[in-house]
Structure formats: structure tokens, C-alpha cells
Amino acid sequence: MSRSPYSIGLAGKGGTGKTTIAGLLVKYLVERGKTPVLAVDADANANLNEVLGLEVQETLGLAREEMKKGVASGMTKDVFMEMKLEQAVVEAKGYDLIVMGRPEGPGCYCAANTLLTNYLDKLIDNYPYVVIDNEAGMEHISRLTTNNIDLLLVVSDPTRRGIQAAARIFDLTKELALNIRRKLLMVNQAKEGQTESIEKAVKDFGLELTGIIPEDEEIRESDLRGKPTTQLKNDNKAVKSAFAIFDRIINS
């Protein structure tokens, strides 16, 4: 009997480096042999593929849109969505990527979302690990799949206001009654000497800090030049810090 996949969701307000962390997590899992990994870009502003260095042609948002306009004669909606899901999977070494995308135009997507969820659940069962890059709002997780989230990593910048925003995301998961087994805060892009103030703010908001990742010029340059962050060497200080955190939380 195969075990359920271990699902990890990432969230955080814009500018925290959340998607970069998601890419580093995929890199970590692949290098640790925890494969195959399914990376899911559930952010409306999809750019996880750029962090991973992959090109994306199809998204599930486009599939929803096409289904609303009608499917080809002789093809059922179920068959259409299954075909589109298979086309949307981008294969890479040790992992696959699927981009949710966003629907365009007015109207209800309930029927399409129901079909999509059913097929996505089937797809997820083929992977031992699933990494989901989400928007700051957590409604997207509740629409994404009926599977539980094993671990939620909320990424914050090293400011009190950023940590407060992270606390609001945690509160939102409670309001939505999402079944998330473990919730942790990760602070990214920290400057030297900020550790004490970060830890105080985290304590003030009653959050659990899993680790701090230092600010890194090499990551910033890679981003500006459009280079995949996952190509950074493992001796990079931010990559080393991220991997050390992942070692603690994934294997615990």
C-alpha cells in the first residue's frame, strides 16, 4: 500500500522571496533523492518556472477557460480535462511542474474546478513529495486539492510589519478551517545583526520560527539577470541556510 504524498505549501506577501524558497525546496528534495517531486505553481502571478529554469506552454487556468467555451464534438468534459492536465505537466530531472494559472473572463468556474481537482488528486498520488507555491491568501489551497497540507511554510521579510503580515496568513488558515498539520515561519533576506529583532517580533506575534535565511547578493543578481535560482551552487550562504532548515523540518 503506497503512502500519501507529503505536501508542503509556501505562502507569503509579495517581495519576501517565497517563490525562490519554493525553488530551493524543490532543488533540496531532488538532491536528497526524495523523488519524483511535483512542483505546483498556484500563484496567480506565476513565475516558479523561471526560478526552476523551465518553459511553460499550458496552464490549468487556460484549460478551464477552454472548457467553458465548449469541448470538441465527441469528447466529454472529463476526457478533455484529463488530456489538458497531461499536457500541462512539464517534466524535468527528478521533478515535474504544473502551473495552475488564472482563469480569464467573467463567470463561474465551479464545474471546471471540480473536474480539475479530481484529476489533480490522481496526479498528486504519483509523487512522494508535492511543493505548492501559493499566493498570500490561502483560499487557493482550499480550491487546489482535497488532500491535506502536511506543512505550511510562510515566508516573511526581516521586518516587524512583514512578520505581522505572516501572522495574518496563519490566522486566515484558521478562519478557512484548512487541515494543515504543521505551520512554520521562515524569515528570508535578513541582514547581519537583525536576528535579535526578528526573534522578538516573532515572539510578540506568537509564531514558531523555523529559521532565518541571510540576504544574498548572488541570488539578487540571478533574479535580475533571469537566471534560474536553482542553478546556484550549494556553498552559497543562502542555499546552505535553506538546506539546513529543510534538513530539520523535512526529516523531523
To the nearest 10 degrees (0 to 180), the angle between helices 60-69 and 110-124 is: 140
More confident residue, 30 or 175: 30
Q: Which string of DSSP letters, residue by residue, matches 55-85? A: -----HHHHHHHHHH-PPTT--HHHHHHHHH
pLDDT higher than threshold 50 for residue 182: yes
Q: Average of pLDDT values for 50-63?
A: 86
226 domain-assigned: yes
Instruction: Indicate the SS3 state at residue 220.
Output: helix
CA-CA distance, 155 to 176, in Å (whole number)? 19
Torsion of CA 141, 142, 144, 149, to 10 degrees: 60
CA-CA distance, 90 to 92, in Å (whole number)? 7
- What pLDDT is recorded for position 194? 96
164 domain-assigned: yes
Read off the pLDDT band of 147 (50, 70, 90). Answer: very low
Contact assessment for residue 59 and residue 191, using Cβ atoms and an 8 Å cutoff: no
Domain that holds residue 118: 6-250
More confident residue, 73 or 106: 73
More confident residue, 85 or 144: 85
1 domain-assigned: no
pLDDT higher than threshold 60 for residue 81: yes
111 domain-assigned: yes
Lowest-confidence region among 3-7, 64-68, 87-91: 64-68
Q: Average of pLDDT values for 185-189?
A: 97
Total domains present in the chain? 1
Contact assessment for residue 167 and residue 160, using Cβ atoms and an 8 Å cutoff: no
118 domain-assigned: yes
More confident residue, 222 or 38: 38
Report the CATH number at residue 140: 3.40.50.300
Residue of 241, 176, 189, 252 whose CA lies nearest to 220: 189
CA-CA distance, 140 to 105, in Å (whole number)? 18
Which pTM was predicted?
Answer: 0.88
CA-CA distance, 182 to 189, in Å (whole number)? 23
Record the cell numbers describing residue 181, joined without a space.
498539520
pLDDT higher than threshold 60 for residue 1: no
Q: Average of pLDDT values for 27-47?
A: 90
185 domain-assigned: yes
